[in-house]
């Protein structure tokens, strides 16, 4: 039985309900792609589908709009699938159980997939309508956005004629997304030579840091456990002679490490001096982070006497100095959008093998040139020291356009409709528009969407009135004549 049939705009909610009844987890978008292809065939619309199940549907301009530039409407087919412990649904074969509460649509005990099912619903409602004026519509629906944007990376868009992109994957009404970061993973390997040394093995652990996401929270200048540990060891080296065995810190390149540890070997008779020196070294290393990381803790654990393969004195020095002097954190702020981090990097994972110490960085920038320059800087520095550098997972930024006729149109319409200014924003993380910018010449894009709450969780809700207002805004954008 239909749950959303009383809601307006009818067509949008009806398609949304249908989408929620068709399974579409990331990587399993085939059934939803089948539905859209059938929809396009029934209406005689030009359409394309690739082996990943990315879908493109094209509808020609309505009368009087033939001279207007096409609009590319874009969203993703896949949804994040989460369920509460008392639910047991198979997302690959079952639909969702929708309900309405407090002006929002939600799904019982699961994610709703308003992100990004509502984009698909808007697109189908527009493609189906016979009474809505619009220029040529080029609908681009991608797969696997939530798990690495594989669909947007692979999709062929050579059939498109437009360059104005309306991405419908934002979740705050009144916010107009205008740029995102590109990124890359950089693995720096610093070579180490080892010798055998007899002595006391100790583990020094730095823990209790606040951590956070390397895109969303890098500007908060929180401590990076790997770097705090390095600073502490450099300070310790000034007072006590020890040899380094290993350095470990963090587990993901896109998270600021909360914990790191070092194994060192020293003469047993120096153990009391080490215990005595540690608190002062800790204070020096932790000093910049008293506000951001109040629970920072340093622990010393003696592991017993024995024979150990330690780094040579030269190797140990080289590793610690290099970590200390490689850049980390925010490198530049945006000149276009206030408060936006333009370029940053995060030493996410530090690990040790027999012959090298590896530093894994996540590099981000909303400027392609700045991203390349930072990659080059890491490459030059580390290779000059005899190390190796590997790049992986490169994705392009969506650069801010100072001159964006589409953004200007939308801002003006928004202000006329709601008597308040829209906020032009950007994020320091990847979006599909970055991928598309490489495939659409002179891309002029914005990302908008209705209010959604707690996306990617079982509490996900989609605001009904906001869906209606965003639909009205969409119709106004399409009805513009230039």
**Residue with Cβ nearer Zn ion (259 or 432):** 432
Cβ neighbours, 10 Å, residue 84: 12
Q: How far is the CB of 455 from Zn ion (least distance, A)?
A: 7
Nearest to 302 by CA among 340, 265, 354, 343: 265
Contact with Zn ion (CB under 5 A): which of 116, 187, 328, 342?
Answer: 116
Q: How far is the CB of 116 from Zn ion (least distance, A)?
A: 4
- Token pair, residue 140, equals 């681009």
**Residue with Cβ nearer Zn ion (149 or 298):** 149
**Residue with Cβ nearer Zn ion (175 or 210):** 175
Footprint on residues 140-169 left by Zn ion (CB under 5 A): 169
- Token pair, residue 347, equals 């030493």
Catalytic residue among 68, 115, 138, 145: 145
Catalytic residue among 29, 78, 259, 399: 78
Interface pattern 71-110 for Zn ion (x via CB under 5 A): ----------------------------------------
Q: How far is the CB of 80 from Zn ion (least distance, A)?
A: 8
Residues linked to residue 141 through DSSP beta bridges, in sequence order: 55, 75
Distance CA 15, CA 19 (A): 6
What is the total count of residues that contact Zn ion (CB under 5 A)? 3
Distance CA 462, CA 252 (A): 31
**Residue with Cβ nearer Zn ion (113 or 199):** 113
Residue 291 in 3-state DSSP? Answer: coil
201's enclosing H/E stretch is strand 194-207
Footprint on residues 165-184 left by Zn ion (CB under 5 A): 169
Q: How far is the CB of 76 from Zn ion (least distance, A)?
A: 6
**Residue with Cβ nearer Zn ion (17 or 116):** 116
- Tokens 């320091």 identify what position? 428
Distance CA 208, CA 200 (A): 26
**Residue with Cβ nearer Zn ion (75 or 396):** 75
- Token pair, residue 145, equals 């956005």
Residue 92 in 3-state DSSP? Answer: coil
Q: How far is the CB of 432 from Zn ion (least distance, A)?
A: 8
Q: How far is the CB of 436 from Zn ion (least distance, A)?
A: 14
Distance CA 88, CA 101 (A): 22
Q: How far is the CB of 50 from Zn ion (least distance, A)?
A: 20
**Residue with Cβ nearer Zn ion (120 or 347):** 120
- Tokens 């809505």 identify what position? 132
- Token pair, residue 305, equals 């006497």
* Cα separations in angstroms, 435 against 36, 181, 343, 363: 23, 11, 18, 16
Q: Determine if 115 is a binding residue for Zn ion (CB under 5 A).
A: yes
Nearest to 226 by CA among 259, 265, 192: 259
Residue 106 in 3-state DSSP? Answer: strand
Residue 78 bears catalytic tag? yes
Nearest to 390 by CA among 184, 213, 84: 184
Q: Strands 260-266, 182-191: parallel, antiparallel or unpaired by DSSP?
A: unpaired
Catalytic residues: 78, 145
Task: Using CB under 5 A, list all residues that contact Zn ion.
Answer: 115-116, 169
């Amino acid at each position: 039985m239909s749950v959303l049939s009383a809601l307006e705009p009818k067509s949008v909610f009806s398609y949304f309900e249908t989408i929620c009844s068709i399974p579409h987890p990331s990587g399993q978008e085939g059934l939803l792609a089948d539905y859209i292809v059938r929809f396009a065939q029934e209406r005689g619309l030009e359409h394309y589908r690739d082996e990943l199940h990315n879908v493109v549907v094209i509808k020609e301009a309505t009368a009087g709009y033939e001279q207007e530039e096409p609009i590319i409407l874009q969203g993703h087919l896949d949804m994040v699938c989460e369920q509460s412990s008392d639910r047991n649904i198979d997302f690959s074969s079952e639909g969702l159980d929708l309900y309405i509460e407090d002006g929002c649509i939600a799904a019982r005990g699961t994610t709703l997939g308003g992100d990004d099912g509502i984009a698909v619903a808007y697109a189908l409602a527009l493609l189906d309508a016979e009474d809505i004026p619009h220029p040529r519509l080029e609908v681009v629906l991608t797969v696997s956005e939530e798990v690495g944007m594989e669909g947007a990376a692979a999709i062929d868009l050579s059939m498109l004629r437009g360059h104005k992109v309306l991405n419908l994957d934002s979740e705050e009404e009144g916010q107009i997304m205008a740029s995102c970061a590109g990124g890359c993973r950089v693995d720096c390997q610093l070579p180490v030579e080892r010798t055998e040394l007899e002595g006391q093995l100790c583990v020094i652990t730095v823990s209790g840091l606040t951590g956070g996401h390397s895109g969303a929270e890098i500007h908060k200048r929180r401590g990076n456990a790997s770097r705090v540990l390095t600073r502490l060891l450099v300070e310790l080296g000034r007072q006590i002679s020890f040899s380094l065995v290993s350095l470990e810190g963090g587990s993901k390149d896109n998270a600021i490490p909360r914990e790191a540890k070092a194994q060192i070997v020293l003469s047993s008779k120096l153990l009391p001096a080490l215990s005595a020196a540690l608190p002062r070294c800790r204070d020096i290393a932790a000093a910049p982070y008293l506000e951001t990381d109040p629970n920072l803790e340093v622990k010393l654990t003696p592991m017993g006497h024995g024979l150990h393969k330690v780094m040579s004195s030269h190797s140990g020095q080289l590793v610690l100095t290099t970590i200390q002097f490689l850049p980390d954190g925010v490198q530049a702020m945006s000149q276009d959008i206030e408060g936006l981090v333009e370029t940053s990097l995060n030493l996410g994972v530090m690990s040790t093998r027999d012959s090298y110490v590896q530093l894994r960085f996540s590099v981000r920038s909303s400027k392609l040139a700045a991203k390349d320059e930072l990659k080059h800087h890491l490459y030059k520095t580390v290779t000059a020291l005899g190390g190796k550098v590997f790049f992986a997972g490169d994705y392009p930024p969506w650069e801010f356009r100072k001159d964006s006729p589409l953004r200007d149109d939308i801002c003006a319409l928004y202000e006329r409709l709601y008597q308040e200014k829209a906020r032009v924003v950007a994020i320091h993380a990847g979006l599909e528009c970055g991928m598309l910018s490489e495939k659409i010449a002179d891309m002029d894009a914005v990302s908008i969407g209705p209010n959604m709450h707690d996306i990617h969780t079982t509490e996900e809700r989609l605001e009904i009135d906001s869906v209606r207002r965003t639909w009205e805004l969409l119709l106004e954008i399409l009805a513009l004549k230039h």
